Amino acid sequence: MKKITERPIVKILIKILIFALCFYAGIKFVDFIFPLVGFK
């Protein structure tokens, strides 16, 4: 294992990146599902 992943700052950045990706995917998912269900 590289020591870079052991730094707290790196772990925080990874968590923020994962959260941002999930948030973005969630918005795209809602935009895709709503028209199918009938919402506008």
DSSP string, 1-24: --GGGGSHHHHHHHHHHHHHHHHH
Boundaries of every domain in the chain: 3-37
Q: What is the pLDDT of residue 39?
A: 62
pLDDT tens column, 1-40: 566 666 788 899 999 999 999 999 999 998 888 887 776 5
Place of tokens 């590289």: 2
Q: What is the pLDDT of residue 35?
A: 80
Largest CA distance in the chain: 50
H or E segment and range at residue 38: none
The alpha carbon dihedral of 3, 8, 11, 16 has a sign of negative
Q: What is the pLDDT of residue 40?
A: 56
